[in-house]
Structures are given as C-alpha cells and as structure tokens.
C-alpha cells in the first residue's frame, strides 16, 4: 500500500460520508473507493446475515468493503481505533485474517475496509444468493416472488454441487497442519477474551495453502473484554485499557487466573467444527448421487477436523453436547460417525478419561 492510499484511509476513519460525494472526486485513489461505495448500495459481491461485501481494487491491491445492514447513528472513535489495534495485534501473532484499514459511516450505514481475504468461503450458505448466481439473475429472489421449475432446481443443484465439491477437493488435499493452524488461531482469540467467534461457513475462507478468518467482530469482543476486566478489577475500564493490556501481556485477563471467562473446550471445538458441516445444506436441490458424494468426502474432511482437536490436546464430550449432536446429525450412519470421531476417541482413551 502506498502512503497516499494509507493517508486516504486514515482521513475517512470514523467519518460520516455520502456515496454521492464520489461523483465530484477527481483523484484516482479516492475515485475507485467511492465507486465501490456506491456499488455497495445494490450490486455487492457477497451477502451474509448482517453484512454485505463489495470488492474493489486500488493501486493494484484488492480490498473488501463490508457494509452493516442495520442503520446506525454513531460509532465512538475509540471503538474504531481500538478495533484496528486489535486486528493488528492478531496479525502480529500469526492469526490468518485480513488487515483492517479503516471504519466509517456512509448513508446511515457502518462500513469497514479490509484487505480482500485469500480464498473462497468453504461452502455456499445464503439461499437467495445461491439461486441468483445459479440462474444468472440480476436481482435477489425469494420463494415468495418466484416459482422454480424442475430444470431450474436441477441447475441450482449442479451449481451448489460443483462449488462445494471443488472446495472439498481442496480441503482433502490440505495437510493436517493447515487444520491445526486454524484451530490454533481460534484458540488464540478465545484466550484473548473473545467470547463469541462467528465461524459460519461464510466467515472461513479456504485456499490451496490453508484457511483465513474473516469478519471478526472486534466491537463485540472489546465490549465483552471490557466488561470482564471491570468485573475483575472492580473499576471502570475503557477499550484503551483492554487493548493496552493485550499489547503488553498478550491477553486482557490471564486465562489461567480467570478460567470463568475462558470459553470452555466444548464451545471452542464447536466453533471449529461449524464451518465444515454445511456441504449438504441445500440437499433439496441435490440428487441422491450428489448427496452421497459430498457425504463421502465429509467423512474424510471431518476426520481431519477432529484430528486437529486431538493434536492440540483438546476434547469435546462423546456423551452429550453440541459437538456430538452436530456430528451425529451429519452422519446418522454409525460407521461414518465412528470413523470421524476415532481420533478423539483414541485421544480420550490415551488421557484415561474412558
């Protein structure tokens, strides 16, 4: 990134902008940004439950412009500054996540600008986007405004199958170390004090070398860590206090001292499993052969996921809990389920737990 672009991103940090402003901008650096800002109103590239994402390029570098769907009035400047500081800290510790450059307001929405993450979301997740892309439609649709024909259902099924199968082939080729690294990243966030990490399949990207965590909720994390710190110290704390402690000690509250604030292993394991369980979410569009093919690959992939849990000396309950429920729902056949949990079962036996 050039100093000129960095200067521009800093100049809009925490500011309230208007997308129409770009109509009168002549500077090429600012112009490409405002084109993306205007495009984000309707023609965004990706959509999740709470945000849309628009990609843009500037000075031969690719960025992601995230727009929160909810209307907002204000966002304190210290939240913006400390979110960026927290993002920088994670990257300095080796967490695979895009760099956050700036946060601002435009047209009563809150925006964030990141480096564009490397890779594709593991599996398709938003139905209306899937239907739109599969059928090459210009507008998003819902079941209320269109009735799909048998041919269209087949076309959507093939689109979903080919996308998910392609990513499964990437997942199958990844070394075990890549899965271990993703879990290590998630564990670092938990140890820092992140109470909730949204690891839906759209927030974890996969490429030929590994994984990338995107759309980390820094604002929520700061709020929770501030609350935890106030409870421990018994005095009012700020976001600056939280990030200062993290930068100085590597954590907000020592997880060894305050285990009450540490996400338990079951929840961490569940967050790790979550992005890998959605290959057959659109089964109503898939034929039996496609479903069986994806399920066959799921067994091998989830076994790698469970192996990573064991490699990091973590565990989840084999008697009850969400992890067992997720896996049994995904693999109702006992042989498949047993094959997936085998690494965890062996680890549990070795620990003398059963």
**In the chain, what are the domains?**
3-117 (3.30.200), 173-350 (no CATH)
Beta bridge partners of 57: 62
Is residue 111 within 8 A of residue 105, CB to CB? The reply is yes
The 3-state DSSP class for residue 44 equals coil
Instruction: Read off the pLDDT of residues 53-110 as tens digits, 9 standing for 90 and up.
Output: 999 888 788 999 999 888 876 666 788 999 999 999 999 999 999 999 999 988 888 9
Quote helix, strand, coil % in the chain, to nearest 5. Answer: 55, 10, 35
The answer, yes or no, to whether residue 280 has pLDDT greater than 80, is yes
According to DSSP, residue 46 is labeled: E
Confidence category of residue 354, pLDDT binned at 50, 70, 90: very low
Distance separating alpha carbons of residues 126 and 60, to the nearest angstrom: 30
The 3-state DSSP class for residue 59 equals coil
Instruction: Read off the pLDDT of residues 180-223 as tens digits, 9 standing for 90 and up.
Output: 999 999 999 988 888 888 999 889 999 999 999 999 999 999 99
Distance separating alpha carbons of residues 90 and 218, to the nearest angstrom: 11
Alpha-carbon separation of residue 208 from 102, 120, 199, 293 (angstroms): 29, 10, 19, 21
Residue whose C-alpha is closest to residue 346's, from 319, 309, 321, 320: 309
Beta bridge partners of 63: 56, 115
**Residue 220, token pair as written in the block:** 């929520």
Distance separating alpha carbons of residues 132 and 216, to the nearest angstrom: 27
pTM score > 0.75 for this model? yes
Alpha-carbon separation of residue 296 from 161, 292, 293, 327 (angstroms): 13, 6, 5, 14
For the chain, state the CA radius of gyration: 22
Q: Which residues are CB-neighbours of 61 under 8 A, at least 6 positions away?
A: 1, 5, 115
Is residue 191 within 8 A of residue 262, CB to CB? The reply is yes
């Amino acid at each position: 990134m050039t100093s000129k672009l960095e200067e521009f991103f800093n100049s809009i940090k925490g500011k309230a902008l208007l997308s129409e402003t770009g109509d009168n901008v002549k500077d090429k650096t600012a112009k490409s940004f405002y084109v993306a800002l205007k495009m984000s109103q309707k023609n965004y590239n990706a959509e999740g439950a709470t945000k849309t994402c628009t990609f843009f390029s500037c000075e031969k570098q690719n960025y992601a412009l995230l727009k929160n769907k909810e209307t907002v009035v204000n966002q304190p400047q210290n939240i913006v500054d400390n979110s960026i500081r927290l993002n920088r800290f994670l990257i300095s510790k080796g967490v695979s996540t895009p760099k956050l450059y700036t946060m601002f307001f435009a047209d009563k929405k809150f925006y964030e600008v990141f480096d564009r993450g490397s890779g594709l979301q593991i599996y398709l997740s938003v139905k209306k986007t899937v239907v739109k892309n599969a059928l090459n439609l210009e507008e998003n649709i819902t079941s209320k405004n269109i009735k799909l024909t048998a041919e269209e259902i087949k076309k959507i099924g093939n689109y979903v199958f080919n996308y998910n199968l392609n990513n499964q082939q990437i997942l199958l080729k990844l070394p075990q170390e890549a899965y271990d690294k993703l879990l290590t990243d998630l564990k670092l966030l938990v140890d820092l004090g992140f109470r909730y990490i949204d690891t839906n399949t759209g927030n974890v990207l996969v490429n030929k070398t590994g994984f990338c965590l995107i759309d980390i909720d820094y604002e929520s994390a700061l709020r929770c860590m501030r609350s935890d710190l106030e409870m421990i110290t018994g005095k009012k704390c700020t976001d600056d206090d939280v990030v200062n402690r993290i930068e100085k000690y590597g954590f907000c509250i020592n997880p060894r001292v305050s285990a009450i604030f540490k996400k338990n292993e079951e929840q961490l394991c569940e967050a790790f499993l979550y992005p890998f369980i959605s290959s057959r979410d659109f089964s109503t569009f898939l034929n039996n052969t496609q479903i069986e093919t994806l399920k066959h690959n799921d067994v091998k992939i989830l076994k790698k996921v469970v192996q990573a849990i064991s490699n990091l000396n973590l565990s989840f309950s084999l008697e009850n809990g969400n992890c067992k429920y997720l896996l049994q729902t995904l693999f109702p056949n006992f042989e498949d389920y047993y094959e997936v949990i085998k690494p965890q079962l062996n680890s549990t036996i070795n620990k003398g737990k059963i």
